[in-house]
Each structure stands twice: as structure tokens, then as C-alpha cells.
Structure 1
Amino acid sequence: MKRELAGVEVSPKYSNYYLQKKDIFESTETTRVDKIFVGDSITDHGEFQEFYPDQVVLNRGISKDTSAGVLNRINEVVGRNAKEVYLLIGVNDIRTKVEQDAYIGNIRKIIESFAKSKTEIYIQSILPVNNSIYGDKVTNDKVKRFNKALKETAKELNVHFLDLFPYFTDEEGQLKKEYTIDGIHLNGKGYKVWTQQVPDTKTTSK
């Protein structure tokens, strides 16, 4: 049986951490937003505001989130009317064996949620993992297949595709050890590389 708590629906489908973060996001009223980063723990761990001290930057990452989880909370992001939104999601879809078609279906719906918005959408490629550290729960071959579908979808729906994958891979196609501790999440150097690929825009949105 579902119950209501603090404005969110409590359901076995979502973790307490997800519900807590979603509720906190929805309780704020920040306006004139420049950038919003949306995603899972890789986004959640990033101190993006510190990379853009002259801009209003929001972090909408939630650890262990998937494309379905982002879709479930995307209206709050759309409502900010940010100048730019950067979406990085998918490694947990792969880890939990979500089919590619279902994943891309969610991505399409996320993008379509911005149909009446002037926000510039940047779909970012899923990052590689380092299997020698992280294990084989996620293969880079599958990451590349998902990324190919992401790029095609971004082109079809006329949004930006930001291909981060090549900046993080070593000669064997693995996440470079210098950018990670656990083989999947980024360290400080990794976040610097990521933010260096983000367009240098400084004008505050309306």
C-alpha cells in the first residue's frame, strides 16, 4: 500500500534517498538558472557550482538513478527554465539490465518534456568503466552501443550530443585509472576533464 510523506509518493519503486532528494529539489525556488546537471551518482558527486562560480548551477543527480527515475522527476527540472540542461544517465540502466529500447524510450520522453521550453538540451554520452577495478557488471561494449543509440536519438530530436566517452578512455577502451578510484565514479581530476568539455556559456537565462 502506498502512502504520502512530505509531498512525495512513497513506493517500493524508489529508494528513500531518491525520494528525499526529489522532495528537496521540489521544495526550492531557485530562478535565473544557467546550468542544471541531471543524472545518477556520477552527477550527484560533482561540485559543479564550484566550476562555474559566476553562474547559477544546480545539481540534480541522485545516486543509483536510472532513465526511468529521471523521467519521473524531470518536470521539476523543466520548470526551472534553465538556459542549459546536461543529462548524463544510463550506466545503472545497463547495470540493472534495462533493455536498450526501453532506455531510449525514456530518453526520448525526457527530451520531449522540454518541447515548450527554450532550454538547450545536452545529452551526454555514458562514461566508460574500468573493468579491472569495478568488475564486469557493466561492459564498455554495451556502453558504446547505448551511446550510439543516444547520439542517433539526439540528432533525430534536434538536441545537442556531448560525447564525453573519448576523453575518459585509455588505449584499451577502459576508464582511465587516473580519473577514478573505484572504476566507475570520477575523482577530482575526472570532474575537471568533464567540465572542460561543457560549452563555455556565461549569460544568465531569463
Structure 2
Amino acid sequence: MAEESKNVFSEFIGDFMKREKADKLERYRHLNKFVKKGQILFTGSSLMEQFPIQEILLNHGMNLTIYNRGIGGYTIPEMLDAMNEQILDLEPSKIFINIGTNDISIPDETKEKLISDYRQVLTQIKEKLPETVVYLMAYYPVNETVAAKMPWPDADKAAILRRERLPEANAAVKALAEEFCYNYIDVNEGLTGPDGKTKEEFSIDGIHMWSDAYEVVFENMKKYL
């Protein structure tokens, strides 16, 4: 019965997330009709969507226009299906990309598939937005200890898998940046403790981060904005 309940819960969450992602994509489709072209774009999955960039800009007194087109739960293949809404429609001058965290959490995901999928995203950007400056962001650290305290099934296993794959995944993204003459940036300094894990006070669930953590990230990345 416990396994059956776990499966039902997983199916419910999966259906809910699918609807949420579709709704966000449709909202972006409408919002993009009114964007000011040539501005800065943040795009990716939930770790980008949850970046409170507008409030941070206000707090720092910075007069920049930054659009956020992150979608929680997105993988790189999903981004490939949403290139217009997440990237191309905005015709940005700069793009900051953080995508692939969910991909490396899939047990049977391979480095080769991650690279192949990511390369397709970058190829479209290079072809359709040749003048745009692109920044590929290193993946954020995790904290499996915090994840283990979460009430949903296997939260710690997902965090552990991500932690194990982060070095190789970051190396792959860095190599892709070099291949396309784009920029690879690691803006994670200050997020981790001596153990290399996200500091507990920054971590919501072992994967996602509180706004305090994004202030640290912003301080590291504002020189690129």
C-alpha cells in the first residue's frame, strides 16, 4: 500500500507540474508581445525562475531591464520546445542561462545527452541571435542533509545524485561555452560551507534557495549585467 500511495502521489505531482508549466509558457507567450527588445534575459528552470531579480535591482538602485523566463521543472528538451517563449521572442542583448539541473537529476541521463541537448539550444541562439552576448551559468550547489528533512519521497536521493554529477556537468557546460565562443560563469562563491554543500540557511529544500542566497549570487554576477 505504501508503494501504491507513493505512485499515486508521484502521478498527481507530475500532472500538476505539467499543467503549471503549460500555464507559465502561455503567460510568457502573451507577455512577450510587449517586451522591450534588446534587454537582458534570465532563462532556465526553477532556479532561475525563483531568482527575485526585480526586487534585488530595486534594493541596489540599479536601473536595468531584466526579463525572467525561467520555468520550474523544465529540462533542456522542454526548453527546446519553448525557444521562442523563453528566449528568441525577446531578442535580448544578453542572456543568462541556467538549465539542466533537472536533467542531471534523471537517473538514466547521460553526459552525452546533456551535451547534445544543450548544444541544440546554443545552436539556435547562435543562428537566430548572432549579436547576443550569452552567459552559461555553473549549476548551483545542493545540500542533501536539508533535502533528507523534506516530507516528499526520495528528496535526498535526488539531491545526492545532483551533487555527484555537478562537477562533470559543469565541465560539460564550460566546454560548450568555449565551443560556441560564449561565456561560462561560476557565480556561486559564498553559497557553500566548508563541506561544499549549500549553507543550510540558504537552502529551502536541499535544491532551491532562499532570497538571501540570490543576493550572494547577484553580488557575484552584477559585473556581467
Alignment correspondent of 2:184: 161
Alignment correspondent of 2:22: 19
Structure 2 stretches of 5 or more lacking a match? 1-14, 148-155
Contact 2:46 2:71 in 1 (8 A): yes
C-alpha separation in 1, matches of 2:19 and 2:168: 31
Q: Secondary structure at the match of 2:27?
A: helix
Which is richer in helix?
Answer: 2
Instruction: Please report how far the alpha carbon of residue 79 of structure 1 lies from its aligned counterpart in structure 2 after TM superposition.
Output: 2.4
Instruction: Please report how far the alpha carbon of residue 33 of structure 1 lies from its aligned counterpart in structure 2 after TM superposition.
Output: 4.5
C-alpha separation in 1, matches of 2:224 and 2:99: 23
Q: Write the letter of the residue equivalent to 1:15.
A: K
C-alpha separation in 2, matches of 1:100 and 1:183: 23
- Runs ≥4 in structure 1, deviation > 6 angstroms? none
Q: Write the letter of the residue equivalent to 1:106.
A: D
Q: Secondary structure at the match of 1:65?
A: coil
Alignment correspondent of 1:138: 159
Q: Secondary structure at the match of 2:169?
A: helix
From 167, 192, 198, the counterpart of 1:175:
198
C-alpha separation in 1, matches of 2:142 and 2:217: 15
In angstroms, what is the RMSD of aligned CA positions?
A: 1.9
Q: TM-score, normalised by structure 2?
A: 0.78
Q: Write the letter of the residue equivalent to 1:95.
A: S
Q: Write the letter of the residue equivalent to 2:168.
A: R
Q: Write the letter of the residue equivalent to 2:165.
A: K
Q: TM-score, normalised by structure 1?
A: 0.84
Judge which range, 29-38 or 64-73, deviates more.
29-38
From 86, 90, 110, the counterpart of 2:121:
110
Largest Rg, 1 or 2: 2
C-alpha separation in 1, matches of 2:186 and 2:224: 18
5 Å-filtered alignment, 1:122-137, equals 122-134=135-147, 135-137=156-158
Q: Write the letter of the residue equivalent to 1:24.
A: R
C-alpha separation in 1, matches of 2:143 and 2:220: 21
Pairing 1:87–2:97 present: yes
Structure 1 stretches of 5 or more lacking a match? 1-11
Q: Write the letter of the residue equivalent to 1:21.
A: K
Judge which range, 46-55 or 148-157, deviates more.
46-55
Alignment correspondent of 1:45: 50
C-alpha separation in 2, matches of 1:163 and 1:31: 28
Contact 1:33 1:56 in 2 (8 A): no
Alignment correspondent of 2:37: 32
